[in-house]
Amino acid sequence: MRVFVAVAEAGSLSAAARRMRAPLTSVSRKLGALEDELGVRLVMRTTRKLALTDVGRGYLDSCRRVLGEVEDGERLAAGAQAEPRGVLSITAPIVFGRLHVLPVIAELLAAYPALDVRLSMSDRVVDLVEDGLDAAVRIGVLADSSAVAIKLGEVRYVVCASPAYLRARGTPETPDDVAPHACIMFAPWSFRGRRIAIHARLAVDTAEAALDAALAGLGLTRVLSYQAAEHVRAGRLKIVLAEHEDPPLPVHVVHADARLVPARLRAFVDFAVPRLRARLRSIRDIAGSSRSTRSR
């Protein structure tokens, strides 16, 4: 399996042999023996290059996962579990990943010099096993699964606008007051589960664009609280209709259920969870300021 992974990553038998410091004939023989044992072709060989078959691509992910568990077990048996090393693969939503996960990862890398991280930022929910990931940060209600989920906190959809816009057009007090306002469409608008129609003067497909438009005074927009928190903290945006918001969305760290949690994953969980929880508490306090002010 190690030979196959080396061949797949190096792109040729000769490059894999150099990487493994092994004779080319030995690498070729072991790859052939693996294919014979499995009864499938993993690699298509040509005179110039090497390509994985469909079966080979799927088997490569399994090999990486199995070899990672073997290495973790060997380190545990050798008493080296306390020093996380190797590659940690994580996915997170794009904006939350950039604003909050990436700074925590930077601290993690400083704390563990032998650890490398691959951070994939995507708003698509990916399969941890199929994509060869150690963990994911996910926002929203989780689907039932055998994965381990650790709750970090909550975020909310908030409606906000620039103070200048609100001075010029007035502050809506109820969801029905939104109808005459200019709105910037990014996410669907609902309050306490009730969808409402809005006048979308501008429609965009990223939170950053929606916030930029709101900062420019173009109207009200609806984004997630962590996306607007920095501007709310600085007074550039003001949250309205806080008491009418939809229920908050949970935020979790999710990882595959395993009896032996790899050292790299344990280090991430122990290090990142308290820091991400603190960041979410800060977002909650800032983004919720309009609600607490109104209640007083």
Average pLDDT over every residue of 79-89: 75
At what angle are helices 2-10 and 54-77 packed, to 10 degrees? 120
pLDDT interval class at 179 (50, 70, 90): very high
Closest by CA to 52, choosing from 1, 7, 22, 14, is 7
Q: pLDDT tens for residues 239-276?
A: 999 999 999 999 999 998 665 677 889 899 999 999 99
pTM above 0.85, yes or no: no
pLDDT interval class at 130 (50, 70, 90): confident
Q: Rounded CA gap, 185 and 276, in Å?
A: 29
- Residue 295 has what pLDDT? 36
- Residue 260 has what pLDDT? 62
pLDDT interval class at 284 (50, 70, 90): confident
pLDDT interval class at 47 (50, 70, 90): low
Q: Rounded CA gap, 48 and 19, in Å?
A: 19
State the Cα angle at 267 between 262 and 271, rounded to 5°. Answer: 155
Share of the chain above pLDDT 70, in %: 91
